[in-house]
Amino acid sequence: MMTGGILSKTVAFVVAVMMFAANTAGAGTDARATRLRCEYLKDPTAVDATAPRLSWIVEASGRGRRQAAYQVLVASGAKGLAADTGDLWDSGRVASAETTHVEYAGARMVPRQQCWWKVRVWDEKGEAGAWSEPARWTMGLLKMEEWQGAQWIGFDKPRETSPEKGKLNLPPARFLRKDFPVGKPVRRAMLYSSALGIHDAYINGRKVGDEYFNPGWTEYTKRVYYRAYDVTTMLKDGDNTVGAILADGWYSGSFGLRGGRDSYGKNIRFMALLVVDHADGTTAVVATDDSWKAATGPILEADFFQGETYDARVELTGWSAPGYDEANWQPVVTGGTMRVRLPDKTTIEVEPSLHAAPHEPVRIHKEHKPKSIDRPKHGMHVLDMGTNFAGFARVKVSAPAGTRIGLRFGERVNEDGTIHTENLRVLRAADTYICRGGGEETWSPQFTFHGFQYVEVTGWVGELTSDAVIGIEVTSATPEAGSFECSSAMANQLHRNITQTQRANFIDIPTDCPQRNERLGWTGDARAYVRTATYNNDVAAFFTKWLVDLADAQGPEGWYPKTAPSKHFGGDGGPAWADAGVICPWEIHTAYGDKRLLGKHYDEMAKFVAYRVEGAKNLRPPDKYHCYGDWLNMKANTPKEVIFTAYFARSAWLMAHMAEALGKTDDAAKYQDLFKRIRTVFNEDYVGTDGKVKGDTQTCYILAIMFDLVEGERLRQAGEHLVERIKARGWHLSTGFVGTPDILPALTKIGRTDVAYRLFHTDTNPSWGFPIKNGATSMWEHWDSWTPEKGFIKGMNSFSHYSFGAVGRWMFDTIGGIDAGSPGFGKIVIRPQPDDQLTYAKVSYDSIRGPIVSNWKRTGDRLTMEVTIPANTTATVYVPAADPGKVTEGGKPASQAPAVATLSPEPGFAVFTVGSGIYQFTSGLPGK
């Protein structure tokens, strides 16, 4: 069955390439640059990098297509670009195969500079293709002076007077406004806005953009991001109004494990600059200052964690449009300093620096209609949205004025059908809508989200139809990159659950879980999951941002923290948590070939490894150190010293490879030597002559195998012990956050993919299949978050936690067989390892160099593989085969196929190198 999703995607891609070839017939070559990106983003409106990096992919029909050269034109106007002139930069013909991270090297970039750009490529025959479609980027403000005196403004009274409601003190959102005239034709208007808190900006009655929770979470005492919007078409001749609604967000809302408030400060702030370029060449600005007016309105409570309360009876109709009577509005206060406590316990006032947001904003991903509506109690409806996601509910209601619709959110339901809220811990997770009356009204909150599958609705008047309350899913808008399908329904559901959970937890930062009182950027979780994340979505910009959070949170001694931003959990994150500071940049580099990122964080990473060396006693663990261990393992604790030493070695090994990538050969040798010395310690202290590793858990062997800590006979023994440990558990895993990401890769590495598949297909506890058998629509925090015998685990228990979803990487690189052969997929490895229980797999990954497809189908002992390799890349294709000499491609012996070179076979595989194109291999599999 090779039809449906991925194949039709492939066909669409091929058809598009063919149509394109037809359209450009006569242009010399059909090789063309598409998908133009600047600093990973499509047409970004505020770029801070003064030498922005440009990337594209090459599309070209046929096989073995390459880019021999490129030319980039960057113009200050669309017309100039259309006339093929690059007044800012004309790279000329550059003989290079590079399509990623090409540094702009033209005229000096100035603040707000608009850049239109396009690329053409020469193919392998030296023929020039047509120019690409134009793309754009716009520079950010670059310096604080460019904010033209804009001030942080706020409205603090509501906070001071907000009543204590039990323990919760949830102040209303603040509304801010300013009228201004536009007297001359406008050529371009840009709005720059930021907040200490979260905000939405408005112009002339409309929300600017379609984003949520800006400007996201950073180490606010050090930096805060702004976003830029082209608002030219939102302005009009005459009177205009700019405004904002401001809420507490991460800055001062209730947050963290204790649900305390004011993490960074008590008083939230907004800053904006509207720059209006007139057609006559003059510029006018509107900046936040003390002339703005403030009020509170219908958003009575606006807490990021606890939820929102909206009273539609007190709406401020027309508040962000001209002509509004602001007589009752109050003056704003100005100033955006924060108090920071220094290690010597003195405090200082700091003001954050403003930077252009380098990452995608949070947007609506999808709407979910309820699958069923239950009435477990009188006056209560419980809606099942069908899947567990992060977001909120949108309500459409007709009810008398003052009707209070209560919404509460839960991931699961109890036996009596009511929502399960025990695992929210101290979180309220509830919104309230108070009706205006007099007709149909529609509402959803703006400044909160919840992690849920079920919505409890109380106070509903009349019938609750299936379109009355729907779920709105939000996530950081990272483009989808991967797709996975195979003949196992369980595996397909697992893939859906992984991606669902990724979306729910990639909300500005990578979090642990969206539903309870945490939502923290746990470093150990991101470390476990980052590689899988790259297969599912293009997370380059997302991690570029979070790695700055991590750097900002690094301790003066060199440690990386438990969470980033680190407000709620500072201090050394310990092995496998702190090491995220080294592992995540490496994995991002692997996926996107980003040397600038490695260079940017290199000194910090070096400082971290130096901190580990200093803290250690002759490279052995210090007497006291923090370590979470193999978190949430199944009664198989791995000794902390084993985890410490293994991760210490791993970070040294990664430093050696990163130093090498950056051309720092001395450092590379130094770290390689460090790695070897730590490996010796590992073997001396923890590995017995029988190859047993101290602790004798599955995770012990996984670490030893995956981090190259054992070699030769010891490696063989470690492999045997790993399989024994799995067998001893009745062919189950016992691993936690440390061992799980690597258990299947470790088995594949030692040639026991059969055992990996055995674990993969298992559906008894603990396994990936067990939650699915029990209705999971997302990844559970514990292997047994719920069991038929024991029900819910008490206390810490999330149903949307991605760490165990780290198996996704193996599904892509072993079931599908798609892997990077060089950082950034310039070289690709296709090495699917079919399994007896699967009859087909269709896996694709849209890499930074274009779409890669690996589809295979097994009929008896015949295997068919369909592989798509993007232009300007090469791939080593491993075709599973009993007899490598009998493999065919396109119906002919593979050795005769065009653009296919045969390499020496490896046990069980025929091996080829191929250029770009679509290939169909067939082979015979070993008989049973």
Active site residues: 518, 781
Q: Is 572 in the site for ligand BGC (CB under 6 A)?
A: no
Q: Which stretch binds ligand BGC (CB under 6 A): 199-207, 403-411, 521-529, 706-714?
A: 521-529
Pick the binder of ligand BGC from 602, 631, 760, 845 (CB under 6 A): 631
- Residue 884 interacts with ligand BGC (CB under 6 A)? no
Smallest gap from residue 513 Cβ to ligand BGC (A): 6
The residue of the chain with the least Cβ separation from ligand BGC equals: 512
Select 460 or 522, whichever has its Cβ closest to ligand BGC: 522
Q: Fill in the DSSP letter of residue 536.
A: H
List the one residue out of 284, 108, 117 whose CA is nearest residue 188: 284
Q: For 314, which DSSP code?
A: G
C-alpha span between 598 and 575 (Å, rounded): 21
Spatial distance between the Cα atoms of 351 and 346, rounded to a whole number of angstroms: 17
Instruction: Retrieve residue 620's tokens.
Output: 């052995």
Whole-angstrom Cα distance, residue 478 to residue 828?
A: 23
Within 10 A of 77 (CB to CB), how many other CB atoms are there? 14
Complex with ligand BGC: residue 250 or 592, whichever CB lies closer: 250
- From the CB of 259, what's the least distance to ligand BGC, in Å? 14
For ligand BGC, the closer CB: 524 or 639: 524
In the complex, least distance from residue 251 CB atom to ligand BGC, rounded to whole angstroms: 22
Q: In the complex with ligand BGC, which residue's Cβ is closer, 270 or 529?
A: 529
Give the list of residues 6+ apart from residue 472 with CB closer than 8 angstroms, or none. Answer: 364, 366, 367, 368, 391, 392, 393, 394, 444
547 in Cβ contact with 597 (< 8 Å):
yes
Residue 275's nearest CA partner among 263, 257, 287 is 287
Q: What element of type H or E holds 33?
A: strand 32-38
Q: Which stretch binds ligand BGC (CB under 6 A): 3-11, 260-268, 383-391, 520-528?
A: 520-528
Q: Least distance (Å) from ligand BGC to the CB of residue 525?
A: 5
Identity (one letter) of the amino acid at 211? E
The CA distances from residue 525 to 367, 572, 583, 585, 793, in Å, are 28, 15, 12, 15, 20
Cis peptide before 370 (omega within 30 of 0): no
**In the bound complex, what is the minimum distance in angstroms from residue 528's beta carbon to ligand BGC?**
9
- Nearest CB to ligand BGC, comparing residues 319 and 631: 631
Closer to ligand BGC by CB, 631 or 812: give it: 631
Q: Binding of ligand BGC at residue 628 (CB under 6 A)?
A: yes
User: Position 604: which residue type?
Assistant: E
* Minimum CB distance to ligand BGC smaller for 214 or for 511: 511
Q: How far is the CB of 511 from ligand BGC (least distance, A)?
A: 9
Return the number of the residue (456 or 781) whose C-beta is nearest ligand BGC: 781
Shortest Cβ distance from residue 524 to ligand BGC (Å)? 5
**Which residue, 91 or 800, has its beta carbon nearer to ligand BGC?**
800
Q: Does residue 739 touch ligand BGC according to CB under 6 A? A: no
Which of 522, 675, 760, 786 forms a contact with ligand BGC (CB under 6 A)?
Answer: 522
With CB under 6 A as the contact rule, which of the stretches 201-209, 510-518, 764-772, 838-846 interacts with ligand BGC? 510-518
- Rounded Cα distance between 575 and 464, Å, is 51
| Cα 53 from Cα 74, distance rounded (Å) | 12
HSE-CB for 13 with a 13 A CA cutoff: 25
Answer for the pair 575, 640: CB distance below 8 angstroms, yes or no. Answer: yes
CB of 784 to ligand BGC, least distance (A): 16
Report the DSSP beta bridge partners of residue 330.
294
Judged by CB under 6 A, which stretch of 125-133, 511-519, 535-543, 583-591 contacts ligand BGC?
511-519
User: Which lies closer to ligand BGC via its Cβ, residue 525 or residue 889?
Assistant: 525
**How many other CB atoms are found less than 10 A from the CB of residue 684?**
9
3-state secondary structure of 467: coil
Kindly tell me which of 631 and 825 has the beta carbon lying closer to ligand BGC: 631
3-state SS, 184-229, equals CCEEEEEEEEEEECEEEEEECCEECCCCECECCCCCCCCEEEEEEE
Q: At closest approach, how far in Å is the CB of 510 from ligand BGC?
A: 10
Instruction: Identify which range of 365-373, 437-445, 519-527, 882-890 contacts ligand BGC by CB under 6 A.
Output: 519-527
Residue number, 522 or 810, with CB nearest to ligand BGC? 522
Least Cβ distance, residue 796 to ligand BGC (angstroms): 6
d(CA 211, CA 476): 9
# chain residues binding ligand BGC, by CB under 6 A: 9
φ, ψ dihedrals at 69, nearest 5°: -160, 165
Nearest CB to ligand BGC, comparing residues 525 and 549: 525
Identify the residue whose tokens are 């150190």: 625
790 strand-pairing partners? none
Region of 165-173, 288-296, 517-525, 912-920 interacting with ligand BGC (CB under 6 A) = 517-525
Annotate each residue in 771-800 with x if it binds ligand BGC (CB under 6 A) or - if it does not, as one string: -------------------------x----
Contacts of 333 (CB under 8 A, 6+ apart): 153, 154, 155, 156, 267
Segment interacting with ligand BGC (CB under 6 A) among 405-413, 522-530, 607-615, 715-723: 522-530
Q: How far is the CB of 577 from ligand BGC (least distance, A)?
A: 7
Q: Which of 49, 570, 702, 6 is nearest to 263 (CA)?
A: 570
- Of the residues 200, 248, 508, 518, which one makes contact with ligand BGC according to CB under 6 A: 518
Q: Min. distance of Cβ 450 from ligand BGC in angstroms?
A: 17
Among 124, 525, 604, 630, binds ligand BGC (CB under 6 A): 525
Q: Which two tokens stand for residue 727?
A: 């067998």
Residue 506 binding ligand BGC, by CB under 6 A: no
- How many helices (H) and strands (E) would you count in the chain? 17, 50
CB 919 within 8 A of CB 867: yes
CA distance 543 to 476: 11
Confirm or reject binding of residue 512 to ligand BGC (CB under 6 A).
yes
Q: Counting contacts by CB under 6 A, is residue 524 touching ligand BGC?
A: yes
Nearest 5°: the CA angle 597, 600, 604 is 120
- Give yes or no for residue 352 binding ligand BGC (CB under 6 A): no
Contacts of 529 (CB under 8 A, 6+ apart): 502, 510, 741, 802, 803, 805, 806
φ/ψ of 306, rounded to 5, equals -80, -30
Binding mask 811-840 for ligand BGC (x = CB under 6 A): ------------------------------
Stretch that binds ligand BGC, among 242-250, 344-352, 518-526, 810-818 (CB under 6 A): 518-526
579 forms part of the interface with ligand BGC (CB under 6 A) = no
By C-alpha distance, which of 804, 747, 735 is closest to 528? 804
> If residue 174 lies in a helix (H) or strand (E), which one and from where to where?
strand 174-182
Q: Are 112 and 95 in contact (CB under 8 A)?
A: no
CA dist., res. 114 & res. 242, Å (int): 23
Residue 738: CB minimum distance to ligand BGC, A: 10
> Which residues sit at the interface with ligand BGC, rule CB under 6 A?
512-513, 518, 522, 524-525, 628, 631, 796
